[in-house]
Amino acid sequence: MGPGPSNPYPEATEAFTRPMLGHLDPVFLELLDETCDRLRQVWGTENELTLPVSGTGSAGMEAAFVNLVGPGDAVVVGVNGLFGERMCDVAARCGAEVVRVDEPWGQPLIAQHLIEAHPNPKLIAAVHAETSTGVRNDIAAIGALLAEADPQGAAGQRPLLLADCVTSLGGIPVEVDQWGVDVAYAGTQKCLGVAPGLAPFTMNDRATQRRVERPQSWYLDLGMIAQYATTHGARKYHHTAPVAMIISLHAGLGALLDEGIDHAHRRHAECGELLQDGLQAMGLELFAAEGSRLPELTTVWVPDGADDQKVRATLLERYDIEIGGGVGAFAGRVWRIGCMGHTARVANVTLLLAALSEVLGR
Amino acid sequence: MGPGPSNPYPEATEAFTRPMLGHLDPVFLELLDETCDRLRQVWGTENELTLPVSGTGSAGMEAAFVNLVGPGDAVVVGVNGLFGERMCDVAARCGAEVVRVDEPWGQPLIAQHLIEAHPNPKLIAAVHAETSTGVRNDIAAIGALLAEADPQGAAGQRPLLLADCVTSLGGIPVEVDQWGVDVAYAGTQKCLGVAPGLAPFTMNDRATQRRVERPQSWYLDLGMIAQYATTHGARKYHHTAPVAMIISLHAGLGALLDEGIDHAHRRHAECGELLQDGLQAMGLELFAAEGSRLPELTTVWVPDGADDQKVRATLLERYDIEIGGGVGAFAGRVWRIGCMGHTARVANVTLLLAALSEVLGR
């Protein structure tokens, strides 16, 4: 119940035990295609360029920036947590002119501020679910303002909208096409209930047409990767696909789709609400602003008199429950509790609340 | 029996089924430390900066270049196959002045040519085991010439030596410290007998001192990664470690070390010799130059009258055996047969030779 990795779906774990397949084996390529199709369903997109990037969520972030941003490109980044900060760092390393739009940690981004920050940026980037603070940023609102300002969009000059969905995909609604998101990435180890190691990724044609021709990263060059990974590619070898991880993702997504995406969202919502109500009933104070709280990641102030590290160590040693500490200025002051993927079960919430109650003596 | 992934050691597969651990869980950090220690044994090094990079072998390649090479740095690259070509591309994207030293595919690199190619390069790079051709390049010879020219080395101006050991580590001797290799990377899915997805990596102090201060890749920034992954780091979160893959690597390395590295090398050598003798006894002609043939990856000309794709498809469908096709100018003309990791067993060689004999009617 930390901020990820969550417990994987049993189907995702079982899939690891199947015999190895080559990355050009027709059986594997079929599994890869199905994985990309399943990702399209979860992303709410018809983007052809939808695939698992061969690295963790941060590799997905880097793939987005290196393929879209070159020296001098203006990039507006919403920053209300660690992962917004990270996007600034990644974009700057691409040579971008980074325009930060800060909001206090714990508060949501304000769409209008992002739109007004620069007259004509190439990209506007925001984190959907800030893992560092438990805040949900309203990506749909940013997309709506962009569409309102330039309803055609196809002209190719409307700023591209990038959404970091590492901790949202599979846990709360994500609608890439409907929201007007041009590029997005996620991680497997959060609400998708699969081990860490892949970054589900999607990019629409509008963004693809504005790609950097020769990205500074060879490993994350989507032009080359698409030649291998998409059904319209030539199946041209780029790098060896992380076969076992992809087969596990395929199975995890299968479990999610069998349950139904809407049902999974309701399950996450229910667990989050139970947890947040329970913590408040115990007299604890939630960190994230009301109205912008993620169900899958709850942040709560460490109560006066409690020893952050000792409480977490006791939870881990006595109850086998991991919860996360705060980061940045909130290290030692905040706990981050995940209810993601297979971990998002009522019984887990009940157990954590009871254990925390014992440890804190509340 | 393709050019990788090989069949994983059963221990590596079993490890995937263990309960998930957080990337900051003390139990996981202990496993990570042990993994790095095991890697040091396999690399033949005492380098502190020894760890699994969170991507496939090509991510290891990119990590080596982005951390050591900046705009204008001269880099000498030996090119006698696809992976030498790839290094040129990766280095160029770092802004390097790339000095290629070509040898024909199928022939080994000549150490003296690499040394003489540029008066003072920052880096000399070579592939130890060229997966595209089955050729072994003599890394020790390059290291010896460098040491001879500048026995002190510590002055910091001796060119750094980079070795791509993706298809060599675990299959043939690799002695990083003894050979004077400053930076090296490998892949898990070849002779280490683990699924693809990680790049074992090692870099010595001499190279670390000449690192690029702020690499263009955030994801592969070894300065930041070391803060998390090495025992002298602060365990500072960088990106979520691919926990399941690392636990699987830990187990695969355990199997290799239990067998003994020397024994594993002998097993690879024996299988390679049996295979190469058997192919020649069947009247087939080997591709790689005699004296530079890898035991773990055998290349052989497709015989006159045989249909490359049909033979490979029959082997896969009728016998469940994958072998690889040629690449580049040798696509359709050469087969690449792997005997790597857990796949390097006499019975597999015997079966392949018998199956190929049936399919070819020889």
Structure tokens at A362: 């509340």
Query: B138: how many CB neighbours lie within 10 A of its CB?
Result: 16
Domain end, chosen from B240, B258, B276, is at B258
Instruction: Give the DSSP letter string of A215-247.
Output: -S-STT-HHHHHHHHSTTS-----S---HHHHH
Of the candidates B66, B160, B64, B61, the residue with the CA atom closest to the CA atom of residue B114 = B160
In degrees, rounded to 5, the angle at the alpha carbon of residue A279 between the alpha carbons of residues A278 and A280 is: 90
Asked if B196 and A242 count as a contact pair (C-beta separation under 8 A), the reply is yes
Report how far residue A274's alpha carbon sits from residue A349's, in angstroms, rounded to the nearest whole number: 7
Domain end, chosen from B236, B258, B280, is at B258
Is the CB of A252 inside 8 Å of chain B's CB atoms? no
Same domain, B37 and B114: yes
Of the candidates A199, A123, A117, A108, the residue with the CA atom closest to the CA atom of residue A160 = A123
Instruction: Give the DSSP letter string of B32-94.
Output: HHHHHHHHHHHHT---SEEEEESS-HHHHHHHHHHHH--TT-EEEEEESSHHHHHHHHHHHHT
3-state per-residue secondary structure call for B123-183:
EEEEECEECCCCEECCHHHHHHHHHHHCCCCCCCCCCEEEEECCCCCCCCCCCHHHHCCCE
Query: B258: how many CB neighbours lie within 10 A of its CB?
Result: 11
- Nearest Cβ partner for B89 among A22, A94, A218: A218
How many residues are present in chain B? 362
3-state secondary structure of B97: strand
Report how far residue B310's alpha carbon sits from residue B302's, in angstroms, rounded to the nearest whole number: 11
Query: A94: how many CB neighbours lie within 10 A of its CB?
Result: 24
| Residue A69 vs residues A3, A73, B328: alpha-carbon distances, Å | 29, 6, 31
ipTM of the complex: 0.97
Same domain, B30 and B153: yes
Report how far residue A21's alpha carbon sits from residue A28's, in angstroms, rounded to the nearest whole number: 6
Q: Domains in chain A: how many in total?
A: 2
Work out the pLDDT band at B68, boundaries 50, 70, 90.
Answer: very high
- Over residues B30-35, the mean pLDDT reads 98
Select the residue from B240, B330, B343 to test the A interface by mutation, using most A Cβ atoms within 10 A. B240
**pLDDT value at position B250?**
98
Is the residue at B159 inside a domain? Answer: yes
Is the residue at B130 inside a domain? Answer: yes
Report how far residue B277's alpha carbon sits from residue B257's, in angstroms, rounded to the nearest whole number: 29
In degrees, rounded to 5, the angle at the alpha carbon of residue B143 between the alpha carbons of residues B142 and B146 is: 90
**pLDDT value at position B247?**
98
Cβ distance A245 to B59 less than 8 Å, yes or no, reads: no
Is the residue at A277 inside a domain? Answer: yes
Contacts of B245 in chain A (CB under 8 A): 195, 197, 242, 244-245
Same domain, B139 and B78: yes
Contacts of A244 in chain B (CB under 8 A): 8, 16, 195-197, 245, 248
Is the residue at A123 inside a domain? Answer: yes
- Rounded to a whole number of angstroms, the distance from the CA of A64 to the nearest CA of chain B is 12
Task: Output phi, psi for A77, to 5 deg.
Answer: -125, 125
Same domain, B70 and B141: yes
A17 burial via Cβ count (<10 Å: 0-12, 13-18, 19+): middle
**pLDDT value at position B91?**
98
Same domain, B189 and B80: yes
Same domain, A189 and A304: no
Is the CB of A46 inside 8 Å of chain B's CB atoms? no
- Nearest Cβ partner for A218 among B4, B14, B90: B90
Looking at residue A286, what DSSP letter applies? B
Cβ distance A56 to B24 less than 8 Å, yes or no, reads: no
pLDDT of B154 > 60? The answer is no
Of the candidates A284, A306, A308, A286, the residue with the CA atom closest to the CA atom of residue A297 = A286
Same domain, A223 and A297: no
- Over residues B326-332, the mean pLDDT reads 96
Work out the pLDDT band at B56, boundaries 50, 70, 90.
Answer: very high
Residue type, A199: A
Select the residue from A13, A218, A320 to test the B interface by mutation, using most B Cβ atoms within 10 A. A218
Is the residue at A138 inside a domain? Answer: yes
Same domain, B210 and B286: no
A258 burial via Cβ count (<10 Å: 0-12, 13-18, 19+): exposed
Report how far residue A300's alpha carbon sits from residue A94's, in angstroms, rounded to the nearest whole number: 35
Of the candidates A53, A117, A62, A59, the residue with the CA atom closest to the CA atom of residue A93 = A62
Is the CB of A223 inside 8 Å of chain B's CB atoms? no
Select the residue from A6, A85, A240, A343 to test the B interface by mutation, using most B Cβ atoms within 10 A. A240
Domain end, chosen from B213, B234, B258, is at B258
Round the average pLDDT of chain A to a whole number and report it.
Answer: 97
**pLDDT value at position A318?**
98
Cβ distance A2 to B22 less than 8 Å, yes or no, reads: yes
Same domain, B243 and B192: yes
Query: A95: how many CB neighbours lie within 10 A of its CB?
Result: 14
- Rounded to a whole number of angstroms, the distance from the CA of A155 to the nearest CA of chain B is 30
Nearest CA in chain B to A59: B219
Q: How many helices and strands (H and E) does chain A possess? A: 13, 12
Indicate which CATH number applies to the domain containing A161: 3.40.640.10
pLDDT of B140 > 90? The answer is yes
- Nearest Cβ partner for B240 among A21, A57, A216: A57
Looking at residue B288, what DSSP letter applies? S
**pLDDT value at position B151?**
76
Over the stretch B171-205, which tens digit does the pLDDT of each residue have? Answer: 999 999 999 999 999 999 999 999 999 999 999 99
Asked if A43 and A192 count as a contact pair (C-beta separation under 8 A), the reply is no
Contacts of A196 in chain B (CB under 8 A): 23, 240-244
Containing domain of residue A24, as a range?
A: 10-258
What pTM was estimated for this model as a whole? 0.97
Cβ distance B243 to A5 less than 8 Å, yes or no, reads: yes
pLDDT in tens, chain A (362 residues): 999 999 999 999 999 999 999 999 999 999 999 999 999 999 999 999 999 999 999 999 999 999 999 999 999 999 999 999 999 999 999 999 999 999 999 999 999 999 999 999 999 999 999 999 999 999 999 999 999 988 776 555 899 999 999 999 999 999 999 999 999 999 999 999 999 999 999 999 999 999 999 999 999 999 999 999 988 888 999 999 999 999 999 999 999 999 999 999 999 999 999 999 999 999 999 999 999 999 999 999 999 999 999 999 999 999 999 999 999 999 999 999 999 999 999 999 999 999 999 999 98
Asked if A249 and A188 count as a contact pair (C-beta separation under 8 A), the reply is yes
Is the residue at B198 inside a domain? Answer: yes
**pLDDT value at position B155?**
52
Query: A148: how many CB neighbours lie within 10 A of its CB?
Result: 9
Contacts of B13 in chain A (CB under 8 A): 16-17
Work out the pLDDT band at B150, boundaries 50, 70, 90.
Answer: confident
Over the stretch B84-116, which tens digit does the pLDDT of each residue have? Answer: 999 999 999 999 999 999 999 999 999 999 999
Structure tokens at B319: 């016998």
- Rounded to a whole number of angstroms, the distance from the CA of A286 to the nearest CA of chain B is 23
Report how far residue A115's alpha carbon sits from residue A93's, in angstroms, rounded to the nearest whole number: 23
Provide the H-helix boundaries in B180-236. 205-208, 222-229
**pLDDT value at position A153?**
65
**pLDDT value at position B266?**
98
**pLDDT value at position A155?**
52
Same domain, B116 and B234: yes
Is the CB of B236 inside 8 Å of chain A's CB atoms? no
Structure tokens at A154: 């196809």
Structure tokens at B324: 């690889």
Contacts of A20 in chain B (CB under 8 A): 5-8, 195
Same domain, A118 and A181: yes
Same domain, A278 and A210: no
Is the CB of B235 inside 8 Å of chain A's CB atoms? no
Tokens 């804190």 belong to residue: A360
**pLDDT value at position B152?**
73
Indicate which CATH number applies to the domain containing A313: 3.90.1150.10
Is the residue at B2 inside a domain? Answer: no
Query: B182: how many CB neighbours lie within 10 A of its CB?
Result: 27
Cβ distance A20 to B4 less than 8 Å, yes or no, reads: no
Over the stretch B212-258, which tens digit does the pLDDT of each residue have? Answer: 999 999 999 999 999 999 888 889 999 999 999 999 999 999 999 99
Of the candidates A340, A252, A342, the residue with the CA atom closest to the CA atom of residue A14 = A252
Work out the pLDDT band at B156, boundaries 50, 70, 90.
Answer: low
Q: In the sheet that B297-301 helps form, which strands lie side by side, from edge to edge?
A: B297-301, B334-338, B324-325
Is the CB of A6 inside 8 Å of chain B's CB atoms? yes
- Nearest Cβ partner for B240 among A196, A215, A239: A196
Is the residue at B3 inside a domain? Answer: no
Cβ distance A217 to B217 less than 8 Å, yes or no, reads: yes
C-alpha radius of gyration, chain B, whole number: 20
- Rounded to a whole number of angstroms, the distance from the CA of B225 to the nearest CA of chain A is 12
- Nearest Cβ partner for B189 among A94, A217, A240: A240
